[in-house]
Amino acid sequence: MSQSIRDSLDHCVKCTICETQCPVAAVTPLFPGPKYVGPQAERYRDASREGSPDDSLDYCSGCGTCTLVCPQGVKVAEINAQARAVMKAQKGVPFRDKLISRTVVGGRLSVATSPLYNWGIGVGALRWAAERTVGIHRRAPMPHAARTTFRTWVWRRNLTRRRVRSTHRVVYFHGCAANYYETELARRTVAVLEHQGIEVIIPRQECCGLPMQSNGLLDEARASVRRLAAQLAPYAREGLDIVSTSTSCSLMLKREAREILELEDDPDLRALAPRMFDICEYLVGLYEQGKLQTQMQPVPLTVPYHPPCQLRAHNIGTPAHRLFELIPELRVIDPNVTCCGVAGTYGLKAEKYDIAMAVGAPLFAQVDGSELACCDSETCRWQINSATGVETVHPIELLYRAYGLE
Amino acid sequence: MEAIQTEVLVIGGGATGLGVVRDAALRGYDTVLLERVDLGQGTTGRFHGLLHSGGRYVTRDVEAGKECALERDVLSRIVPDAIEETGGFFVTTPVDDPDYADAFARGCVDAGVWVDEIEPALAIAEEPRLNPRISRAFRVKDGAVDAWKLLWANARSAQQHGARILTYHWVTSILREDDAVTGVIARNDLTGEEVRIDAAFTINASGAWAGEIATMAGADGVTVVPGKGIMIAMNHRLVNTVINRCDPPGDGDILVPVRTVSVIGTTDTEARNPDELEITHDEVQRMLDAGEVLVPGFRNTRALHVWAGARPLFKDERADQSLDTRHMSRGMALVDHERRDGLRRFLTITGGKFTTYRLMAEVVVNAMCEQLGDDRPCTTATTPMPVSAEDGATRVGARLARRERNLHDEKVVCECELVTRGLMVQEIDRKPLGNLDDLRRVLRLGMGPCQGGYCAHRATALVHERTDISAGRAHELLHRFYEYRWLGLKPILYGDQVRQAVLDEWIINGTLDLEHLPREVSR
Ligand SMILES: Cc1cc2nc3c(=O)[nH]c(=O)nc-3n(C[C@H](O)[C@H](O)[C@H](O)COP(=O)(O)OP(=O)(O)OC[C@H]3O[C@@H](n4cnc5c(N)ncnc54)[C@H](O)[C@@H]3O)c2cc1C
Ligand code: SF4
Ligand code: SF4
Are residues B419 and B508 both part of a single domain? yes
pLDDT-based confidence at residue A238 (cuts at 50, 70, 90): very high
Phi/psi for A249 (5° steps) reads -70, -40
Residue B387 lies in a domain: no
Are residues B111 and B230 both part of a single domain? yes
Q: Is A261 in the pocket of ligand 3 (CB under 6 A)?
A: no
pLDDT in tens, A308-367: 988 988 999 999 999 999 999 999 999 999 899 988 888 888 889 999 999 999 999 999
Are residues B313 and B341 both part of a single domain? no
Helix axes B421-430, B436-443, angle to 10 degrees: 120
Q: Which ligand is nearest to the CA of A84?
A: 3
Are residues B428 and B473 both part of a single domain? yes
Q: What is the pTM of this model?
A: 0.90
Question: Ligand 2, from A10, A15, A65: best to mutate by most atoms within 8 Å of Cβ?
Answer: A15
Domain end point (choices B322, B357, B381): B322
Which of A3, A39, A44 minimises the CB distance to B396?
Answer: A44
- Mean pLDDT throughout B227-232? 96
pLDDT-based confidence at residue B523 (cuts at 50, 70, 90): low
Residue B78 lies in a domain: no
User: For the domain that residue A52 is a member of, what is the CATH number?
Assistant: 1.10.1060.10
Residue A138 lies in a domain: no
- Mean pLDDT throughout A132-136? 78
Whether residue A65 is preceded by a cis peptide bond, meaning omega within 30 degrees of 0, is: no
Q: Is A20 in the pocket of ligand 2 (CB under 6 A)?
A: no
Are residues B161 and B292 both part of a single domain? no
Are residues B209 and B244 both part of a single domain? no
Domain end point (choices A91, A106, A127): A91
Which of B399, B454, B499 minimises the CB distance to A44?
Answer: B399
Are residues B283 and B341 both part of a single domain? no
Domain count of the fold of chain A: 2
Of all residues in chain A, what percent carry a pLDDT higher than 70? 100
CB pairs under 8 A between A and B: 80
User: For the domain that residue B107 is a member of, what is the CATH number?
Assistant: 3.30.9.10
Chain B hits for A36, Cβ within 8 Å:
415
Residue A162 lies in a domain: no
- Mean pLDDT throughout A111-132? 78
Residue A336 lies in a domain: yes
Interface check for B262 against chain A (CB to CB < 8 A): the answer is: no
Residue B519 C-alpha, separation from nearest chain A C-alpha, in angstroms: 28
- Mean pLDDT throughout B480-503? 95
Q: Is A313 in the pocket of ligand 3 (CB under 6 A)?
A: no
pLDDT in tens, A138-197: 777 878 888 889 988 888 888 776 788 889 999 999 998 888 888 999 999 999 999 999
pLDDT-based confidence at residue B92 (cuts at 50, 70, 90): very high
For the CA of B349, the nearest atom of ligand 1: 26
| B316 pLDDT above the threshold of 70 | no
Are residues B313 and B336 both part of a single domain? no
Are residues B426 and B483 both part of a single domain? yes
Residue B409 lies in a domain: yes
Expressed as residue numbers, the domain containing A393 is 294-402
Residue numbers of B between 38 and 77 with CB closer than 8 Å to A: none
ipTM of the prediction: 0.92
Question: Ligand 2, from A13, A43, A68, A69: best to mutate by most atoms within 8 Å of Cβ?
Answer: A13
Residue A193 lies in a domain: no
Alpha helices in B314-420 (DSSP H): 337-341, 357-372, 398-406
Chain B CA closest to residue A2: B128
pLDDT confidence of residue A132: 76
Phi/psi for A323 (5° steps) reads -70, -40
Question: What is the 3-state secondary structure of chain A?
Answer: CCHHHHHHHHHCCCCCHHHHHCCCCCCCCCCCCHHHHHHHHHHHCCHHHHCCCCHHHHHCCCCCHHHHHCCCCCCHHHHHHHHHHHHHHHHCCCHHHHHHHCHHHHHHHHHHCHHHHHHHCCCHHHHHHHHHHCCECCCCCCCCCCCCCHHHHHHHHHHHCCCCCCCCEEEEECHHHHHHCCHHHHHHHHHHHHHCCCEEECCCCCCCCHHHHHCCCHHHHHHHHHHHHHHHHHHHHHCCEEEECCHHHHHHHHHHHHHHCCCCCCHHHHHHHHHEEEHHHHHHHHHHCCCCCCCCCCCCCEEEEECCHHHHCCCCCCHHHHHHCCCCCCEEECCCCCCCCCCCCHHHECCCHHHHHHHHHHHHHHHCCCCCEEECCHHHHHHHHHHHCCCEECHHHHHHHHCCCC
Q: Which residue's alpha carbon is nearest to atom 3 within ligand 1?
A: B47
Residue B383 lies in a domain: no
Are residues B21 and B139 both part of a single domain? no
Which of B240, B297, B302 minimises the CB distance to A49?
Answer: B240
Chain A hits for B302, Cβ within 8 Å:
10-11
Mean pLDDT, chain A, as a whole number?
A: 90
Are residues B511 and B429 both part of a single domain? yes
Question: Ligand 2, from A5, A6, A9, A14: best to mutate by most atoms within 8 Å of Cβ?
Answer: A14
User: For the domain that residue A392 is a member of, what is the CATH number?
Assistant: 3.40.50
Expressed as residue numbers, the domain containing B444 is 398-516
Please give the distance, rounded to the nearest whole angstrom, from the Cα atom of residue B304 to the centre of ligand 1.
Answer: 22
Which of A10, A39, A54 minimises the CB distance to B400?
Answer: A54
Domain end point (choices A42, A67, A91): A91
Domain count of the fold of chain B: 3
Are residues B409 and B452 both part of a single domain? yes
Residue B49 lies in a domain: no
Residue A403's alpha-carbon distances to A195, A295, B3, in angstroms, are 8, 7, 99
Residue B50 lies in a domain: no
pLDDT-based confidence at residue A1 (cuts at 50, 70, 90): low
Q: Is A25 in the pocket of ligand 2 (CB under 6 A)?
A: no
User: For the domain that residue B18 is a member of, what is the CATH number?
Assistant: 3.50.50.60
- Beta carbons of B235 and A43 less than 8 Å apart: yes
Interface check for B453 against chain A (CB to CB < 8 A): the answer is: yes
- Mean pLDDT throughout A262-290? 95
Strands B143-145 and B50-51, by their bridges, are antiparallel
- Beta carbons of A45 and B400 less than 8 Å apart: yes
Residue B213 lies in a domain: yes
Residue B390 lies in a domain: no
Domain end point (choices B291, B322, B353): B322
